[in-house]
Structure 1
């Protein structure tokens, strides 16, 4: 059974919105990550004792985790894009099959159409 074109557009819009949301989140994380990196650099210049080093290590850990999360977001974006393309291709193929069957029926090429024509003496 094929999905109507309107539902395919809705599905594409849903995938696209999810991808945009992930891209936006990744962009915001990059902005905040840059701010944290700047704060860390300032801290290192002015606070060099053991406490400053410990705090710097915590910030490094946080920055590394943000990199991991951003990579995960990017992987999710890619997977959603692949899923959207696969879904659209499957829906288009299904629609083409239904349209093609409709053409056969209109030409009397279906079994039911042929049987009906035979019963009516056509």
Structure 2
């Protein structure tokens, strides 16, 4: 009897994992740059206290606020990707189990599940 492998599930999981890792890397880079901007802002406030310095400080605050917003969006995307990965894995496992369960039936001496799976795979 030919049974489907979990190669598709592994590929799907790997794709989700890569996307999550990319988001985590982006957040790490943002945190590094954010720290540099915060240090520059603190240095600016200590050295340059005129109206121009205040205006520049406000621009930096706006930028820092946007970085926080982007990081929250990255967190939400990570969570959604994680939830989607789990849902996809559950669905694929359920389909795999249904195919295996159906494989116990035979049609004309051949495995119905194996034949169905092979037909779905185009081979």
TM-score scaled to structure 2, two decimals? 0.82
What is the CA–CA distance in structure 1 between the aligned matches of 2:5 and 2:79, rounded to whole Å?
Answer: 25
Runs of 4 or more consecutive aligned structure 1 residues displaced over 2 Å after TM superposition: none
Aligned twin of 1:38: 39
1:25-74 Cα offsets, whole Å, 9 max, x none, are: 01110110011000000000000000000000000000000000000001
Unaligned runs of 5+ in 2: 109-123
Aligned twin of 2:29: 28
Deviation of the 1:7 alpha carbon: 1.1
What is the CA–CA distance in structure 1 between the aligned matches of 2:90 and 2:25, rounded to whole Å?
Answer: 27
TM-score scaled to structure 1, two decimals? 0.82
Aligned twin of 1:118: none
Q: CA RMSD in A?
A: 1.3
Unaligned runs of 5+ in 1: 107-111, 114-122
Aligned twin of 1:88: 89
Say how many residue pairs are matched: 105
Secondary structure at the counterpart of residue 48 of structure 1 = coil
Aligned twin of 1:109: none
Deviation of the 1:4 alpha carbon: 4.6
What is the CA–CA distance in structure 1 between the aligned matches of 2:5 and 2:37, rounded to whole Å?
Answer: 48
